[in-house]
Amino acid sequence: MKRIRCQECDGNYILRDGKFGVFAGCSNYPRCRSTKKLYEVVLEYIRIYGIGIYRWDRECWKCKKKTAVYSYYLDYELAELDEFFNSGLPAVGLGDLAYIDGLLSQKYATIQKRYSNTTHSSYMANTCSHCGALQGRNYVVEDPHEIVEELWHSRGMDKFWIETIACPDTSPLVSDIKRIYSQAP
């Protein structure tokens, strides 16, 4: 069982919905009043457990050949830590964490920076290994979470796991994690 240990006692942090939004408090509350911000718990999780990378094959919408797509599903992994991560916290995948996206694009040639006319910005996305077409439901913005929605609910994604990227130094991730999890409900 994955846990984030309390820094002040033998408890672990669990998420609570407080007056000022979601925060992490010690499981031994009220005996222990240690708290952490949501984004700090996420960074701690990544420092300890790394970020899992998943791969699956899908049919390219354009050339109809099978091509591999990759992403991480940080919110899926965090859900193992605390059920609270299942309830409305942001989905985090390819395109959300610039540092991890950079590492993946160096490793997997089909992960490339593309420009979206819809969002008017550049982002990392999966492309077809045969024809180069962007792989996504709307063919414009890649949202890997749409593709695996069913697997998500059945917790059946483990068979698509290919590696975990270790991240003992989370400093390159701080700004993205802070941005994503400070806006969380």
CB atoms within 10 A of CB 152: 17
CA–CA gap between residue 53 and residue 139 (Å, rounded) = 22
CB of 162 to Zn ion, least distance (A): 21
CB of 26 to Zn ion, least distance (A): 3
Chain residues in the site for Zn ion (CB under 5 A): 6, 8-9, 11, 26, 28, 32, 34, 60, 62-63, 128, 130-131, 133
Which of residues 3 and 130 has its CB atom nearest to Zn ion in the complex? 130
CB of 164 to Zn ion, least distance (A): 27
Which of residues 34 and 170 has its CB atom nearest to Zn ion in the complex? 34
Crossing angle of helices 174-182 and 38-49, in 10° steps, is 140
Find residue 23's DSSP bridge partners: 16, 37
CB of 63 to Zn ion, least distance (A): 3
Which of residues 27 and 86 has its CB atom nearest to Zn ion in the complex? 27
Which of residues 71 and 110 has its CB atom nearest to Zn ion in the complex? 110
Please state, in angstroms and as integers, the Cα–Cα distance from residue 75 to each residue in 9, 96, 112, 121, 138, following that order.
26, 12, 23, 24, 22
Please state, in angstroms and as integers, the Cα–Cα distance from residue 53 to each residue in 21, 31, 44, 86, following that order.
29, 38, 18, 19
